[in-house]
Amino acid sequence: MPIILKNIEPRVRSAVKHYWGTLSAQAERQGAVTGRTDTGNRNAVTGGKQMDGFCDLLMGVLAENGITKPLIHRHSRLEIPGYFRPTKKWDMLVFHGGVLLAVIEFKSQRGPSFGNNLNNRAEEAVGTANDALVAYRERAFGDQAPKPWLGWLMLLEDCEGSQHPVGVAEPHFPVFPEFKDSSYAKRYEILLRKLRLENLFNETALILTKESEAATGLYSEPAPDLSMQRFLASFAGHIAGIIAS
């Protein structure tokens, strides 16, 4: 069954607007309570919910393709067993008839600490994917046949801090050439592509957005192979195929 994807660009823009609007509201609420603004934009990322617009988008694509049977968890009951730890709490789970069909992470980052946060995100992505895949192999999700679809979506602030070239330390061995003089935005692109190439995630997506475009939700996709169109088609196609089989 071909997957229908309608008006994806304006709907992604709506999700991006929701992201910036939620960050602003969280910052204002925390400032009103504490009487101060946290350094490093921490007040704008500790409240959660800023990526809910992307959850809505994924759910909408399923519904528009007549995929109404799955049970979707997005705000609670998000824990599934891990192999290296008892459980991992994901951002969105999709079930059908007790079978885990899809597991998704929605991540975002704004400045200023791009370097440390990118390293943390890379370790987190590799670790959580391996944890879930080995848990599946060991039948932690029951005796289900299909391997769950794993997706990782990244929204990154498009600014000077994320776009300027960054050096690397090479005291003992040279780093892979693609990392040399690359920006943090480029390194996210490399990370997301390699996560998919190494079969850790079925699909990954990268969206860049400027805070100055918060009111419009304008965004860019630096790599066609990391686009929302591809991400959504793969996600909906996997679920439709399993339900129809």
Q: Which of 31-35, 94-98, 203-207 has the highest mean pLDDT?
A: 203-207
Residue-level pLDDT at 31: 58
pLDDT band at 216 (very low <50, low <70, confident <90, very high): very high
pLDDT band at 145 (very low <50, low <70, confident <90, very high): confident
Residue-level pLDDT at 159: 96
Helix (H, G, I), strand (E, B) or coil at 161: helix
pLDDT per position as a tens digit, 1-55: 679 999 999 999 999 999 999 998 877 776 555 555 444 444 333 345 899 999 9
Dihedral through CA 205, CA 210, CA 215, CA 221, nearest 10? -30
φ/ψ bin of 66: left (φ > 0), alpha (ψ from -120 to 50), beta (otherwise):
left
What integer is the mean pLDDT of 208-213? 97
Cα(first)–Cα(last) distance of the chain, in Å?
11
Quick check: 118 pLDDT over 80?
Answer: yes
Residues 46, 49: Cα–Cα separation, whole Å: 9
22 CB neighbour count, 10 Å cutoff? 18
29 CB neighbour count, 10 Å cutoff? 12
Residue-level pLDDT at 40: 46
Residue-level pLDDT at 100: 96
What integer is the mean pLDDT of 179-188? 96
What integer is the mean pLDDT of 84-88? 97
